[in-house]
Structure 1
Amino acid sequence: MDFRRIEWIFLLIFVAIDIFLFVTFRQSGTIQMNNGGSQAGDSNSTIIKEMRSDQIRFNTPSAKSSDGYYISSSNNNDLEAKASGLVNQTTEYKDDILTSTFKTPVELAGSSAKAATAVLMKDPTQVSHGKDYVYSKNLSNSNQVVYVQRVTNGSIYSTMGEVRFTIQNGEITSYTQGYLSDVAPLREKTDTISEERALIWLYQYNEIPNGARIQWTKLAYTKLLSIKESSVYVPTWNVALKTNTTTGTYVRQVNAFTGAILKSSSTAKASTTGE
């Protein structure tokens, strides 16, 4: 048996265990709902009130569940291979991320940073696979414009599937890019926890401090695990928080299948509010 096949077997076993835990969790939740759905709803409402009593500010979260897939992608050097076709740029490829610096910075010339970068995203001589990304207001700010990769049933909130343009003195000076290749679902679509449930779990695990402001929430894909040339991504609730003791906004993440709090080096960065 070749090493590549062994890697995939271990990857699938890991995902199968995660799915088993999720199904067990869902069945347990279903039993509880059948025995007292109104009690569960009342409990959630009580916790939401407690959060507001702790001066945590947020819009009323949705109690409706969504759905998503476990998805896989290939870790390859596609961006490195296409870098030679980019114009007016000096590039470096490291750890699956392309860093590109414009030899002559692109002037905004009265255009908004969003509009100017949108033009670059449509030009394959400026950004590879640009049509596969969509602008993210959540992750962008005055110094950085961010596009996230669109995939099956959602988008990627990870540096491995983002384009981040740097804006300095009215010019676009550089960008970094990660791109997921050969993205495919690993199994059928599955229900996720609700936005309300994600916020409650973060609160109960002391991940939302008193007095915090929840700037925005977003259900998107983040990396669950990586084995050499393959990675698995999972639907994740991304919750952006701002407190009086922190500079800017930071993101907390909840596995939308299992409810586990995620700690990841590829966590999406945030520094502004938005949709």
Structure 2
Amino acid sequence: MQFKRIKILMLILFFLLDIFLLNWWRSGEVSQERVTDANTDIISEMKKQKIKLPKFGTSLHYSSYVAAQYGDRREMSLPAGLDVSTGAKTNTVFAKFKRDLFKKNGTGSDESVLSTYSAGYQFNPVLTANKTNRDRVYSQRVEGLPVIADSGIMTFQYNKSGKPVGFTKRQLVNIERLRDDRATITEEEAIISLYRYNEIDSGDSLSKGYLSYDRTLTVNGYDIFLPVWAFEAYSGNEKYVLKINAFTGDNLSE
């Protein structure tokens, strides 16, 4: 008899637990729906203010903090065809292309030549759009993401005729992941954060966001990098890079 009572009591407890978990799950679903509705309302408000937005993503990404050190230019592997000059910064390569470099490779082969020199780096549309001249910026890729800090980019200089004449290059080495990957905010949430921080206003334009690595601090000779959402913004004749912490949503724009 006592056993039956215990059995019935356990069944009741399991039943109540199921109800609790179901209600908890439903409350989470409602909360997420409310967040989605709130985001939709804010995006609609931005469009009413004639803010030009990109076709943004709403999916989660995963990333981590990383540590890295500056590479010494004397240890950088460089292809032939360069006149390399020395400077005070031992972490920077200052190079000019020899005049006959592109002639040897034929007409219209600029991109193929540049791809040789930019191996390990990828064209960065945000940093390039921020330039006031013809220069093009390439980012070193770390853990699958482009670096937007000066310590991990190379910049190709162009003359008035649109021909590349040389580049400056910095490189990160001894790269270490500091923590396991964790979820970042979405591109949509980063755009909403910029609006809440008054970084974009009526009539402004915003580029597509790029999840990137940016330097945050230095510890024991290592630079610490965190993932950020980077955008190019236009306000009248002014253009500038905007950044949002991809973990916390904090404003990192300068």
Instruction: Give the TM interval when normalised to the shorter protein.
Output: 0.7 to 0.9
1:120: Cα distance to partner? 4.0
Change (3 A) 1:97 1:59: same
Change (3 A) 1:101 1:119: closer
Q: Mapping of 1:91-240 within 5 angstroms? A: 91-93=85-87, 94=89, 96-102=91-97, 104=99, 106-107=101-102, 110-111=107-108, 116-122=110-116, 127=117, 130-140=118-128, 143-168=134-159, 169-227=161-219, 229-240=221-232
Please list every run of 5 or more consecutive structure 2 residues that lacks an aligned counterpart in the other structure. Answer: 1-26
User: 2:134 touches 2:162 (CA, 8 Å); kept in 1?
Assistant: no
Paired amino acid for 1:47: I
Task: String of CA shifts for 1:14-44, please: whole Å, max 9, x gaps.
Answer: xxxxxxxxxxxxxxxxxx9566221111111
Change (3 A) 1:80 1:63: same
1:251 to 241, 248, 251: 241
Give % identity: 24
Distance 2:112 2:124 in 1: 12
Distance 2:61 2:147 in 1: 16
Paired amino acid for 1:57: K
Distance 2:76 2:32 in 1: 54
TM-score, structure 1 normalization:
0.71
Distance 1:41 1:166 in 2: 44
Change (3 A) 1:263 1:105: farther
Q: Which has the larger radius of gyration?
A: 2
Aligned to 2:47: 52
Aligned to 1:262: 252
Task: String of CA shifts for 1:197-233, please: whole Å, max 9, x gaps.
Answer: 1011110110012111112211111111123621111
Task: String of CA shifts for 1:208-266, please: whole Å, max 9, x gaps.
Answer: 121111122111111111236211111110011112141xx3210001011111146xx
Please list every run of 5 or more consecutive structure 1 residues that lacks an aligned counterpart in the other structure. Answer: 1-31, 265-275
Task: String of CA shifts for 1:152-211, please: whole Å, max 9, x gaps.
Answer: 132212221111111102432221111110112111011000111101111011001211
Aligned residues: 222
Distance 1:219 1:159 in 2: 16
Change (3 A) 1:211 1:95: farther
Kindly report the root-mean-square deviation, in angstroms, between the aligned alpha carbons of the 2 structures: 2.8
Larger mean CA deviation between 140-149 and 199-208 belongs to 140-149
